[in-house]
Amino acid sequence: MSILLPAGYRAGAAACGLKRTGDADVALIVSGGPASAAGVFTTNRVQAAPIGVTKRHLRAGNARAIVANAGNANACTGARGRADATETAEVAARCMGIRRKDVLVASTGIIGHYLPMDRLRDGVTAAAAALSSDGLEAAARAIMTTDTRPKLAEATAGGGARVVGLAKGAGMIAPEMATMLGFILTDAACDRGFLSAALTRAVRASFNRVSVDGCRSTNDTVLLLANGAAGGPLVVPGTPEAEAVQDGIDSVCVSLARQIVEDGEGATKVVTVRVRGAANDREARAAARAIVDSVLLRAALNAADPNWGRVMAAVGVSGIALDPNAVDVWLGGQKLCERGAPGPGDLSRAAEALRARDVEIVVDLSRGSAECVFLTNDLSTEYVRLNAEYPT
Amino acid sequence: MSILLPAGYRAGAAACGLKRTGDADVALIVSGGPASAAGVFTTNRVQAAPIGVTKRHLRAGNARAIVANAGNANACTGARGRADATETAEVAARCMGIRRKDVLVASTGIIGHYLPMDRLRDGVTAAAAALSSDGLEAAARAIMTTDTRPKLAEATAGGGARVVGLAKGAGMIAPEMATMLGFILTDAACDRGFLSAALTRAVRASFNRVSVDGCRSTNDTVLLLANGAAGGPLVVPGTPEAEAVQDGIDSVCVSLARQIVEDGEGATKVVTVRVRGAANDREARAAARAIVDSVLLRAALNAADPNWGRVMAAVGVSGIALDPNAVDVWLGGQKLCERGAPGPGDLSRAAEALRARDVEIVVDLSRGSAECVFLTNDLSTEYVRLNAEYPT
C-alpha cells in the first residue's frame, strides 16, 4: 500500500556515490506552486552548514523545494561547507527554474567531511530529472542512513486536503530538537504563522518525545510545506479547519517518530515510558528523560530482564526532589516496586511480558498529577556493532 | 607483589551464597583501636539502606570497622532493608566485641531484593573468624561484582605512615558522587575535620573524574579510616604532615579510579578526555562530561575510529555557549578538527594511535584557560552483553 504525495508535489531521487552501497543518496521534493513553509532544528550548538542556509531561506516563510542528501552531513565543514550547501540549493533551483532562496537544504551522514560537489551536482540534476508524483518512497529511501526501511506516514487534513511525511532515523536520536530529518507536506493552504506554530506543537508531542541514544545530532531538521493545491480556503488559527490540519500534522509526526524508534539502530523492542504523578510537566519530562537515557536499563530490556532497580536508580538522578519511598514502578504490567520497595507484582510474569516487541514501563512519583510519555528502545550488541563500524 | 594493610588493621572475607558463583561475598575490615572516619556517598536520591545506616554511624566522626557485601545492594528495600543493614552492623560488632555504631556498612549488587539475613549472619561471622593482617586482597575480592580483578593501591603518608585502598567497579559508574565502593585506610593519626576535607578533595580529583556508563548508582560509598597506629602525632590541616597524608590519599584514590575505568564492563581501552581553553572550571567539566557520556563516541572508539565529529556533536550539547568555529579537536595526537572544520591531522595515523590501549582526546574550546581531565573507556558489545545478562 504505497502512499501518494499530496496534490501539487513531485519527488525524485538519484544515486551519486555518497553512499558506498551505490543506493540513492539525493532526494528532491518540489511543489508546483508556492508553499508556505516552517522548520524546526537541532538545539545542538554545533549545527551543520545546511541548517544555516535553510534557516536563512525560511525567513520569508515560504519555499518551493527541499533538496536532501544522505551519506555526508556537511557538518563541521566551515566556510567551504556553507558555500557547498548554498551551491546545492542553487543547482536544485536551476534544474527546476525557481529561485535559490525557495530551496531548503538538509544533509545527514558522517560529520567532518566536505561534500564531493562534483558528484552531488550530478546527483541533484539526476534527481530533478526523476521528479514524479509517485516519487515519495524513492525520496524516503534516498535519505536513509542506518535505517533499515523508509519511514512514511499520511493523514487527512480536512476539506479534502492531506498531510504526508517522510523521515529518517535511526541513531543519534534524542529529544530537545527535531531529532533527524523529517519532511512534512500538505496540500492545505496555510497561513504562515499558523504553520510555524502547528509544526512546533506537533514536534513537541512526537519527535521531542523519543530517544534512541540520547545523542543530539548536528543536522536534525523537520520541515513543513503547505502549498494549498487541494483547493481549500486559507487555514487560519482558531478555526475547525485549523484543527483538522493540526490533527493531520500531529498524526503524521507521531507516526514517523514511532517508526524511528521501531527502526532504532539494533533495536529489538519499542519501550513506552509513562511517568505519572509528577508535580508538574517539567518534572514528568525530567523523570522520563532520565529513564530513557539509562543505558543500563536499556541493556536489561534487551534481555527482557524486569530490572526495576535500574528504573529507580535512573529516576533518582533526574534532579527531582523526590521521596524514593513514595515511588511505584510497573514493568510489563506488574507492580514490581511499591513505595520504593519490592511490590506485589510477579517477576516472572513481568519477564514474560518484557519478551514482547512492545513493552511498557510505568512510574508513579506520587507527587501530583502531571504526566509524560516517552518512547525509546532497547540497547543491543547490534547498536554497538553498527556504531563501532560506521566509518569515518 | 601483594599490598599489606596499614598498621593496626585486619581484614577477612567469607562466602555465604550471595554470589551464585560461590565466591567470597562478605568483607570485613577492622582497626585494632579507634579510628577517625569520613565518608562520601552517591548523590542519587534513591540511596541504598546501608548508606543511611553508615551516615548515621559516621556522625561522631569515628569508626572501628567496615562490613561490606557483594551480590545484593540492599537498595529499594524499605524499612526491612534498613533493619537488615542495622542488623548486619550489629552482627559484625558482636563478633568483634565493639559497639554497633562503630561499624560502617556497605552493599553492592542487584537492586530491589531483600538481603538473605540468615546467610549473611553466617557470612559476617565467618569473615570475622578469618580476620588477619594479610587479608586485604581477600576483602578486595569479596566486594567484586562484574569486576574481573581486585583493585588495590598503596602510598606513603609521611612519618612512616601509609595509605592503602581497595575498591570495586565496574559498571554503573558516573561522577557526581563516590562512584562505587572504595575503602581507604591509613595508619596516620588524623584530625576528624581534616580527614573529611581530605577525602572530599581526593574524591573530587579521582572518582568524580571517571565515567563508565554515566549511570549513578544507589550504593556508591567511599570510606576513609585513620587509626594512628603508625605512631605519629595528630595530623592537623595546614601542616607539611597534612600535605603528606593528603598526597597519599590522593594517590590511592587516583589509582583506584583509574583501575575502575581499566576494568570497566567490557572495556578494551582507557580514554583520557582533556578539555582545555574553557572559560571556567564548570565549563571545562561540562564539556568533558558531555564527551564521556556520548555512547556514540564510545562505540566509535571501540573500533579505533577517529570520529571527531562525534566529539564535536557531544561538545555542542554540553550547555556551553561556545562558538563551534573556535573549537580544535585532537584524536590520538592528530589535530583532526581546527576551528570547527577538518584540520591538518592525518586520519589514518589517528586511527593507528586509537588502536592502543591508552588513548587521548584533547578539545580546546578557545574560550579561556580552565582545564578538566576525565577518564572513560570504550563501549563494547561485551558491555551490553554483561548488562543484558546480569540477572534480576
Q: Kindly state whether residues A243 and A280 are assigned to the same domain.
A: no
Is residue A207's pLDDT more than 90? no
pLDDT of residue A312: 92
Report yes or no on B4 lying in a domain: no
B26 close contact with A: CB closer than 8 A: no
**Would an 8 Å CB–CB cutoff place B74 in contact with chain A?**
no
CA distance B68 to B16: 12
**Average pLDDT over all residues of chain B:** 90
Question: For B153-177, what is each residue's pLDDT tens digit?
Answer: 999 999 899 999 999 986 655 443 3
Domain with B94, as residue range(s), is 9-262
Q: Which three cell numbers stand for residue B142?
A: 569479596
B15 and B59 part of one domain: yes
Contact B324 A46 (CB under 8 A): yes
Q: Bridge-partner residues for A47, per DSSP? A: none
Locate cell 480556503: which residue?
A: A233
On whether residue A1 sits in a domain, the answer given is no
Taking the Cβ of residue A45 and every Cβ of chain B, the question of whether any pair is shorter than 8 Å is answered with yes
- Do residues A107 and A50 lie in contact, with contact meaning Cβ atoms separated by under 8 Å? yes
* Residue A237 shares a structural domain with residue A314: no
Alpha-carbon distance A124 to A68, whole Å? 9
Does residue A48 carry a pLDDT above 60? yes
Residues A40 and A186 in one domain: yes
**B367 grid coordinates:** 574560550
Instruction: Give the nearest chain A residue to B351 (CA atoms).
Output: A392
- Do residues B232 and B372 share a domain? no
pLDDT tens-place string over residues B57-108:
999 999 999 999 999 999 999 999 999 999 999 999 999 999 999 999 999 9
Question: Which residues does chain B have within 8 Å of residue A302's beta carbon, measured at their own beta carbons?
Answer: 384, 388
Residue B251 in this model has a pLDDT that exceeds 80: yes
A348 and B CB contact within 8 Å: no
Residue A2 counted as domain residue: no
Contact A141, A22 (CB under 8 A): no
Q: What is the CATH number of the domain that holds B290?
A: 3.10.20.340
**ipTM of the shown complex:** 0.78
Looking at the fold, whether A143 and A210 belong to one and the same domain comes out as yes
Least confident of A61-70, A238-247, B84-93, B264-273: B264-273
**Which of A307, A354, A384, A385 is the best residue to mutate to test the B interface, defined by the most B CB atoms within 10 Å of its own CB?**
A384
Q: Which of A111, A380, A387 sits opposite B313 (nearest CB)?
A: A111
pLDDT at A392 over 50: no
Segment among A158-172, A184-198, B236-250 with least mean pLDDT: A158-172
Q: Is the dihedral of CA B98, B104, B110, B114 positive or negative?
A: positive
Q: Is residue A4 part of a domain?
A: no
User: Which of chain B's residues have a Cβ under 8 Å away from the Cβ of A294?
Assistant: 215
pLDDT digits 0-9 by tens, B221-237 = 889 999 999 998 999 99
- Structural domain ending residue among the three candidates B216, B236, B262: B262
In a domain, B2, yes or no: no
- Together in a domain, B131 and B17: yes
| A214/B295 touch (CB, cutoff 8 Å), yes or no | yes
- Asked if B385 reaches chain A (Cβ–Cβ under 8 Å), the answer is yes
CATH code, domain carrying A215 = 3.60.70.12
pLDDT over 70 percentage in chain A: 94
Rounded-to-integer distance, Cα A217 and Cα A171, Å: 9
- CA distance to partner chain A, nearest, from residue B29 (Å): 28
Look at residue A171 in the predicted model and tell me its pLDDT.
62
**Is the predicted pLDDT of residue B330 greater than 60, yes or no?**
yes
Cβ-based contacts of B391 with chain A (< 8 Å):
305
Task: Give pLDDT, residue A223.
Answer: 92
Q: What's the pLDDT at A170?
A: 66
A 175-204 → B contacts, CB under 8 A: none
Residue A42 lies in a domain: yes
Residues A169 and A299 in one domain: no
Sequential DSSP letters for A1-61: -PPPPPTTEEEEEE--SSSTT----EEEEEEEEEEEEEEEE---SS--HHHHHHHHHTTTS
The residue from B262, B286, B306 where one domain ends is: B262
On chain B, the residues whose CB falls within 8 A of the CB of A381 are 381, 384-385
Give chain A's mean pLDDT. Answer: 90
Closest CA to B76 of A337, A218, A5: A337
Tell me, yes or no, if A179 is annotated catalytic.
Answer: yes
Q: Whole-angstrom Cα distance, residue A246 to residue A199?
A: 8
pLDDT at A177: 35
In the stretch 229-288 of chain B, residues with CB closer than 8 A to chain A read none
Query: Looking at residue A1, what is its pLDDT?
Result: 55
A169 touches chain B (CB under 8 A): no
Higher pLDDT, residue A138 or B192: A138
Q: Does residue A41 sit at the B interface (CB-CB below 8 Å)?
A: no
pLDDT at residue A386, as a whole number: 73
Cβ A152 vs Cβ A140: under 8 Å: yes
pLDDT tens for each residue of A250-283:
999 999 988 988 888 788 999 999 999 999 999 9
Q: pLDDT of A91-116, one tens digit each?
A: 999 999 999 999 999 999 888 899 99
Average pLDDT over every residue of A309-337:
92
Q: Examine residue A193 and state whether it is found in any structural domain, yes or no.
A: yes
Q: Residue A212's pLDDT is what?
A: 66
CA distance B336 to chain A (A): 9
**Among B residues 135-154, those touching chain A with beta carbons less than 8 Å apart:** none
Residue that terminates a domain, selected from B245, B262, B279: B262
- Residues of chain B with Cβ-Cβ distance to A80 below 8 Å are 341
Residues A249 and A301 in one domain: no
Check A145, A179, A218, A221 and give the catalytic one: A179
What pLDDT does residue A175 have? 44
Same domain? For B149 and B83 the reply is: yes
**Residue A239 included in any domain:** yes
pLDDT of residue B210: 77
- What's residue B216's pLDDT? 63
* A9 has a pLDDT exceeding 90: yes
Residue B392 pLDDT more than 60? Answer: no
Q: Are residues A276 and A248 in the same domain?
A: no
Distances (CA, A) of B287 to A216, B168, B171, B219: 14, 27, 22, 26
Lowest mean per-residue pLDDT among A239-248, A264-273, B110-119: A264-273
Does the pLDDT value for residue B178 go beyond 50? no
The confidence score (pLDDT) of residue A145 equals 85
Q: What is the pLDDT of residue A354?
A: 95
Work out how many domains chain B is built from and give that number.
Answer: 2
% of chain B at pLDDT higher than 70: 94
Mean pLDDT of the region A222-251: 93
CA distance A181 to chain B (A): 16
Interface residue of A42, A46, A330, A337 to substitute, partner B, most B CBs within 10 Å:
A46
pLDDT in tens, B189-229: 998 899 999 999 998 888 888 776 665 677 888 899 999 99
Kind of pairing between the strands at A358-364 and A270-278: parallel
* Same domain, yes or no: A97 and A211: yes
Chain A residues inside the 8 Å CB shell of B381: 381, 384-385
Q: Residue A34 is which amino acid?
A: P
